[in-house]
Amino acid sequence: MKRQWMTIMAALLVLLAGCQGSDWTVSVKTTPFYKEGTASTFAVAIQKNGEPASGLEVTAIFEMANMDHGQIVAALKEGEPGLYEGQVQLPMEGEWDVLLQMKDGSEMTEKLVTLTVKRQDVAAMINGQAITAAEVKFYQTRRKIEISSAMEEIQQNERGPELTERLSYWERQLNATAEPRSALTHLIELHSMALLAEEKGYSVGQQAVDREMEKRKNQYSESKTAQTLIRQYGETAFWKQERHYVRLVLLAQNVWNDMVKQVKTEHPGMAETEVRFFAQKKYEELLVSQIDSLDIQLYLSGL
């Protein structure tokens, strides 16, 4: 009954707004998620008469569909023209009705949207895209594999004081993998540059991912430590995450390649080591600029 009443009221107000000659459209850009004790972003794009509607006062009233959990009210603020967003902490996953109240001067209209809110174990959000806790734990495992495999190779090929020194270094690196913040930092940087690559028009095809996956499977098969860690993680889950990771790496590689081309154009005849040095500097500057331009929210608790 409650849901029917919200629907009737929204329809009535939309009808009244239509009588005033304005055509309002709303599209959901970011759906909030459910994580206990955590607020998440809700964002909508609003148009009036086919143009982004700026300068509105927008309120979102959340109610659980077919359940009585009361109302949750969130004020939405305008960022880009016509794009309104705010934070909301929902008490559970499921289907939610959201009544959007939009005021433009003396004109008021309402729209009803329905969202499917999912439980997510989120570590961070970048422009509405989630980096999950599972992804962070995967990368921690991946780093363990890389470091353990390096240590395995060193033990096979080196002896004496140099062996002890190098193993000590890698053991410190191995211990650092237990800290999720460093893994999350790396993933934020990788996701950020992958997004930039897509903004530049780059894409990664299935065949390119397949080729890189085959290389990595062959590489891991040569290390007993890697095979053990993959089995412990769960082979199916590991390779699924690795595929996602490979796609991001290949996307970001396009941005790196652009930096190398730019340095070579600016400094023809420069030695390859110098090219890489200056390309790395440009890449890092671009990374900082890209991260500053993104909406990044962190949810580290529980990792």
Taking the C-alpha atoms of residue 46 and residue 51, their distance in angstroms, rounded to an integer, is: 8
Residues in the chain: 303
Task: Judge whether residue 21 has pLDDT over 80.
Answer: no
User: How would you list the strands of the sheet with 122-126, edge to edge?
Assistant: 129-132, 122-126, 296-298
Question: Average pLDDT, stretch 65-85?
Answer: 89
pLDDT score recorded for residue 7: 45
Structure tokens at 182: 């460093």
Q: Which amino acid is at 279?
A: A
Q: What are the φ and ψ backbone dihedral angles of 154, each rounded to 5 degrees?
A: -60, -45
Cα–Cα distances in angstroms (integers) from residue 98 to residues 43, 83, 244, in the given order: 12, 16, 33
Tell me if 260 sits within 8 A of 283, measured CB to CB: no
Q: What is the pLDDT of residue 179?
A: 86
- Distance, in Å, from the CA atom of 199 to the CA atom of 191, rounded to the nearest integer, reads 12
Overall pTM > 0.85: no
Q: Are 119 and 93 in contact (CB under 8 A)?
A: yes
pLDDT at 13: 45
**Per-residue pLDDT tens digits for 173-219:** 888 888 899 999 999 999 999 999 999 999 999 999 999 999 999 98
CB atoms closer than 10 angstroms to residue 60: 22
List of domains in the chain: 2-120 (2.60.40.10), 124-298 (no CATH)
Residues of the chain with pLDDT > 70: what percent?
A: 90
The pLDDT of 47-62, averaged and rounded, is 95
Separation between Cα atoms, residue 213 and residue 221, nearest integer Å: 12
Asked whether 143 and 183 are in contact (CB, 8 A), the reply is: yes
The separation between the first and the last C-alpha atoms of the chain, rounded to the nearest angstrom, is 40
Least confident of 21-30, 103-112, 274-283, 287-296: 21-30
